[in-house]
Amino acid sequence: MKKSIPTYVLALFLFSFMYCKSQENKTTEIIKTPKHFKILDEKEGDLDNDGVFEKVRVYDTEKETDMGTERQIYIYKKNHNKWELWKKSVGAILPSQHGGMMGDPFEGISINKNCIVINHSGGSRQRWHYTHRFRFQSGEFQLIGATVNFGSPCDNFFNFDYNLSNGKVIYQEETSDCEKEDSKTEKKETISKLSTLPTMANFYPGNNKFTFPNSETIIYY
């Protein structure tokens, strides 16, 4: 005589099955890397203040340029637990050999205060470092901050900080002579508001010029 499966055992089995299917549906789909692309960096954070994290990926495309291989930024949003491409940029990440003697200039990205922050560096004896901050506003990722450090020890070094949101510019230059143990510092401040902020989609680090009023000082950010 066959024994029937107790009702409570069958109910428990069905509940477990339905729960597992429910959890499976909640799992976020894995993003497929475009063919021939390589992931250089990846971060998650809330970029549009909706309480839901987006994903930012930096890809090396293996496409050759005059300065090495081209890089691209892809920004993904979730739609019913599936990642969908939201925005992308070609140019905001410098090519692989743009760092000169230092080689690859890309240091990494981070997400801070709803902004994408990109860091580059390069040079030889004279070193340079860029930090650019992009915030999602007016339907685009716009440049709201740029910091440039350039120079070499025991010679000339400057720091340039530009808040594009309020237009405030701070420039500090230090000239030093290590043998004479002598140095002097020059500081300038001004306000320069742009009518239209650069967007990540059309941005290339170092190709943007700032000239101080009544001065020969020119900074490329």
Q: How confident is the model at residue 24 (pLDDT cuts 50, 70, 90)?
A: very low
In a domain, 69, yes or no: yes
pLDDT on residue 3: 46
pLDDT on residue 117: 98
Q: How confident is the model at residue 29 (pLDDT cuts 50, 70, 90)?
A: confident
Domain that residue 171 falls in:
30-220
In a domain, 104, yes or no: yes
The tokens describing 108, both together, are 């990494």
Distances (CA, A) of 31 to 63, 71, 84, 127: 21, 18, 8, 36
The residue that leads in pLDDT, 153 or 22, is: 153
In a domain, 183, yes or no: yes
Stretch 143-161: mean pLDDT, rounded?
94
The residue that leads in pLDDT, 21 or 135, is: 135
Distances (CA, A) of 40 to 19, 62, 72, 137, 164: 36, 12, 10, 26, 28
* Nearest-angstrom CA–CA distance, 218 and 221: 10
Neighbours of 204 (CB within 10 A): 13
pLDDT > 70: what percent of the chain?
Answer: 87
The tokens describing 205, both together, are 């680090």
Taking 50 as the threshold, does the pLDDT of residue 20 lie above it?
Answer: no
Side chain identity at residue 119, one-letter code: N
pLDDT on residue 27: 54
> How many structural domains are present in the chain?
1
In a domain, 2, yes or no: no
In a domain, 70, yes or no: yes
The answer to which of 11-25, 53-67, 111-125, 134-148 has the lowest mean pLDDT is: 11-25
Neighbours of 7 (CB within 10 A): 8
pLDDT on residue 12: 40
In a domain, 7, yes or no: no
Strand order in the sheet with 38-45: 38-45, 54-65, 68-79, 82-90
pLDDT on residue 192: 96
Taking 80 as the threshold, does the pLDDT of residue 85 lie above it?
Answer: yes
Stretch 168-195: mean pLDDT, rounded?
89
The answer to which of 71-75, 79-83, 104-108 has the lowest mean pLDDT is: 79-83
In a domain, 63, yes or no: yes
pTM, two decimal places: 0.85
